[in-house]
Amino acid sequence: MSDETTQTPARAGDQQRPTPPAGSGPVLPPLRIGRHVIESPVVLAPMAGITNRAFRRLCREYGNEGTALGGASGATSLYVSEMITSRALVERTPESMRLIEHDPDENPRSIQLYSVDPATARAAARMLVEEDRADHIDLNFGCPVPKVTRKGGGSALPWKKDLFRAIVGAVVEEGGRRDIPVTVKMRKGIDDEHLTFLDAALAAEEEGVAAVALHGRTAAQAYSGTADWEAIRLLKQTVTSIPVLGNGDIWSAEDALRMVEETGCDGVVVGRGCLGRPWLFTDLAAAFAGSSARVTPTLGEVTDTLRTHTAYLCDFYGDEERGCRDIRKHIAWYLKGFPAGSTVRNSLALVDSMASLDALISTLDPDAPWPGEAAEGQRGRAGSGRVVALPDRWLESRELTEEHRRTIAEAELSVSGG
């Protein structure tokens, strides 16, 4: 790579450091995940192809700025890796080993595992624990992608109560060997007729998890419609000994504050809301610390952030061209609402080097102000509801049949994630 890729330009909001309002105080206490104290009660949701080490670094830097705005020192949020398939991790595939890498200053080191088999989940967790590769493990029971649910994984798995409990219990036991807390992220259920979140959360609580997070949608909804925050409120009322985190439709710090007010949740999980908006973690940290400070960057500050993100990706991959290919999917999110013509947008979506990125950025007006409402709202996947792909006769019983045992035995072999 050229030296050019390692430069770190100014980022959105670098000049925006207002003083917190007098008399303000924290909206929530620090989030406790086992032995870890997270000053700002915010978690970066694992997102496939997004929350790699490069993006986590960018979000972490912004989160630290936000805690400073709110008057906290040295604190940040919790930034979780993208989903890692347990089988791939146990087999030490090159991609899985890349995905579990952390920056030296990442703390806690947080990894999300996907598994449909208790033995494989245990083996993956044991590897992370014995080789000191993680300080926190999250378990994915929320993925709605058909290739996952079709094999009984992700958001389909909690329907099989004993299987769910066995996987959670195995990973908690392994984590307990070195005081590494385990959390569970899930959805409401398969569809409105097959809800699983309450009994799954209670089972997870009994098995010793440190927290549960609920995305207020079913698998059938995917990312469509509106997240059901009432389900988060009900879960908080039901699970009383561990933190409950809410996820879904948090596009701004104000959305997060409203979720806490309406549900009583102990913290929030942010996914699509930070796409092209890593400074959302500045806003969230400041908001939860009681500050009204918000980042409203100019186009120049946004493109500086875009460039920094690209440089971090080039470093992550050790390959400038690959890093530039990866940033392409972020372009529309970063530029949403700003005056950038279709020609430049299309060219940026084909960028293949830092030099070409710089040349295209130079054609944009750096002084263009934050466009306000036009830049806000939904980013990333939305789509429409659907019938969930499931193994044959999956819904006939909540117990695991021999047929389904054979089905899920193949599942980790067919799901990438590492």
What average pLDDT does range 332-345 have in this prediction?
92
- Catalytic pick among 143, 265, 274, 324: 143
Q: Residue 61 to residues 111, 152, 243: CA-CA distances in angstroms? A: 19, 37, 25
* Tens digit of each residue's pLDDT (9 = 90 or more) over 274-301: 999 999 999 999 999 999 999 999 999 9
Q: With a cut of 70, say whether residue 167 has pLDDT above it.
A: yes
DSSP 284-325: HHHHHTT--------HHHHHHHHHHHHHHHHHHHT-HHHHHH
**CA–CA separation, 146 and 187 (whole Å):** 15
Q: Reply yes or no on whether 274 is catalytic.
A: no
Q: Which residue has the higher pLDDT, 384 or 51?
A: 51
What average pLDDT does range 67-80 have in this prediction?
65
Q: Percent of the chain, pLDDT > 90?
A: 80
For residues 417 and 83, is the Cβ–Cβ distance under 8 A?
yes
For residue 73, what pLDDT is reported? 46
Q: With a cut of 60, say whether residue 344 has pLDDT above it.
A: yes
Q: With a cut of 50, say whether residue 191 has pLDDT above it.
A: yes
pLDDT tier at 124 (50, 70, 90 boundaries)?
very high
Q: With a cut of 90, say whether residue 415 has pLDDT above it.
A: no
Q: Which of 213-217, 229-233, 311-315, 375-379 has the lowest mean pLDDT?
A: 375-379
What secondary structure letter does DSSP report for 378? -
pLDDT tier at 2 (50, 70, 90 boundaries)?
very low
State the chain's mean pLDDT as an integer: 90
pLDDT tier at 70 (50, 70, 90 boundaries)?
low
Q: With a cut of 60, say whether residue 69 has pLDDT above it.
A: no
Amino acid in the structure at residue 381: R
- CATH architecture of structural domain 27-295+392-414: Alpha-Beta Barrel (3.20)
For residue 65, what pLDDT is reported? 78
Nearest in space to 120 (alpha carbons), one of 171, 158, 161, 164: 171
Nearest in space to 89 (alpha carbons), one of 130, 59, 60, 148: 130
Nearest in space to 389 (alpha carbons), one of 407, 377, 372: 407
* Tens digit of each residue's pLDDT (9 = 90 or more) over 252-272: 999 999 999 999 999 999 999
Q: With a cut of 70, say whether residue 14 has pLDDT above it.
A: no
Q: With a cut of 70, say whether residue 105 has pLDDT above it.
A: yes
For residue 412, what pLDDT is reported? 62
What secondary structure letter does DSSP report for 411? H
Q: Which of 23-37, 223-237, 268-282, 375-389 has the lowest mean pLDDT?
A: 375-389
For residue 414, what pLDDT is reported? 56
What average pLDDT does range 353-365 have in this prediction?
96
Q: With a cut of 60, say whether residue 4 has pLDDT above it.
A: no
Q: With a cut of 80, say whether residue 219 has pLDDT above it.
A: yes
For residue 233, what pLDDT is reported? 98
For residue 8, what pLDDT is reported? 40
For residue 320, what pLDDT is reported? 97
For residues 35 and 179, is the Cβ–Cβ distance under 8 A?
yes
Nearest in space to 387 (alpha carbons), one of 154, 219, 226, 147: 219
For residue 17, what pLDDT is reported? 37
**CA–CA separation, 78 and 136 (whole Å):** 10
Q: Which residue has the higher pLDDT, 9 or 55?
A: 55
For residues 85 and 112, is the Cβ–Cβ distance under 8 A?
no
